[in-house]
Amino acid sequence: MSIRVERLGALIKKDLGEIIQREFQPEGTFVTVTNVRVTPDLSIAKVYLSVFAPGRDKEVVYEFIDERVTQIRYKLASRIKNQVRKIPELHFYADDTAEYVNKMENLFKKVDDQPKAPTDEEE
């Protein structure tokens, strides 16, 4: 990945995080931009979101953001218009990294909790 693509991804991550948290976050939820991957031609930005919504369905939050993607892109354009020629399309995805980490930790705990077979040295 080129330096320009990485820098644009970091810039979009920072600015989108601020935009979503200030203006497009449903009441009683906390939305975080965890990662942004930009295509090499800078036309599409895949934005990964982590949602903390106690007592609510997370899908409703993603739908809320998807319905406002054009408004979010417009706000982003007003911030980065001097740094890029074309504002990339925004595609939002759920970031399941935390769930994956928990799953892996549980698997490691199961492995550690199993009785160990005696080795040749212990016999």
Question: Looking at the domain assignment, is residue 65 inside a domain?
Answer: yes
Instruction: Tell me if the pTM is above 0.75.
Output: yes
Q: Under 8 Å CB-to-CB from 59, ≥6 apart: which residues?
A: none
d(CA 63, CA 44): 19
Question: Which domain range does residue 52 map to?
Answer: 3-96
CATH number of domain containing 84: 3.30.300.20
Number of domains in the chain: 1
pLDDT tens sequence for the chain (123 residues)? 689 899 999 999 999 999 999 988 888 888 899 999 999 999 999 999 988 888 888 888 889 899 999 999 999 999 998 888 899 999 999 887 777 777 888 888 888 877 776 666 655
